[in-house]
Amino acid sequence: MMTATRTKNTTTVELEGDRVVVIARTFRAPPRHVFDAWTKPELVARWWAPKSHGVTVKSIDADVEIGGRYRYVLSHGDNEFAFSGEYVEIDRPGRLVYTQVFEAFPDQPTTITVTFEEEDGLTRMVSREVYASAEARTAALESGMESGMRETMDQLDELVAELAAG
């Protein structure tokens, strides 16, 4: 059992051009574990909801194969929000490409490419989100800010739209 305090790994978010957001972070685990945590439904269910926003996972279904689909449903009170998409490339443990839509706006799919690279026994994860348009990216980022400030259901809708980056 490790008791020493560990330094927290830093999450970075950067913009590229007008449609891309790049999220990066290092994990203290080998790529195969990070890949599994990212894709296996029973594991995704444990981290995908941002709990401090009062959001919980309702269901996570995923058919992790090329052309397979996934659907993540979150809930907040009586309301449910779903995200879904299709796996485009699967190369465990190094690379994963999938599409994602917030089902309320199904005509604005985001394409997400995640790479898991081993660095000294740790994993460097880089998630590159390519939005359908500059406006779609702006809406996604904007909702992240609003969600922290207000708690109306409209705002929650926006929050969950912002989660579509997952």
Partner 1 sequence: MVETFAALAEPNRFRIVELLRSGPRPVNTIGERLALRQPQVSKHLKVLKAAGLVEVEPRAQQRFYALRPEPLRRLDDWLDRYRQLWDERFDAMDEVLEELTQKEDEG
The answer to whether residues 99 and 86 touch, using CB atoms and an 8 Å cutoff, is yes
**Quick one: 14 or 66, whose CB is closer to partner 1?**
14
**Quick one: 61 or 135, whose CB is closer to partner 1?**
135
**Quick one: 28 or 59, whose CB is closer to partner 1?**
28
In the DSSP assignment, the letter for residue 6 is: P
Sign of CA dihedral 146, 152, 154, 159: positive
Q: What is the smallest separation between the CB atom of 74 and partner 1, expressed in angstroms?
A: 12
Nearest to 54 by CA among 71, 77, 73: 77
In the complex, the residues that contact partner 1 under the rule CB under 8 A are 8-9, 11-15, 17-18, 21, 23, 25, 27-30, 33-34, 36-37, 43, 46-48, 50-53, 134-135, 137-138, 140-142, 144-145, 147-148, 162-163, 165-166
Q: What is the smallest separation between the CB atom of 130 and partner 1, expressed in angstroms?
A: 14
Backbone φ and ψ for 93, nearest 5 degrees, come out as: -105, 10
For residue 57, give the amino acid letter.
V
Q: What is the smallest separation between the CB atom of 67 and partner 1, expressed in angstroms?
A: 26
Q: What is the smallest separation between the CB atom of 82 and partner 1, expressed in angstroms?
A: 17
Cis peptide before 93 (omega within 30 of 0): yes
Output the six-digit token pair for 62.
């995923």
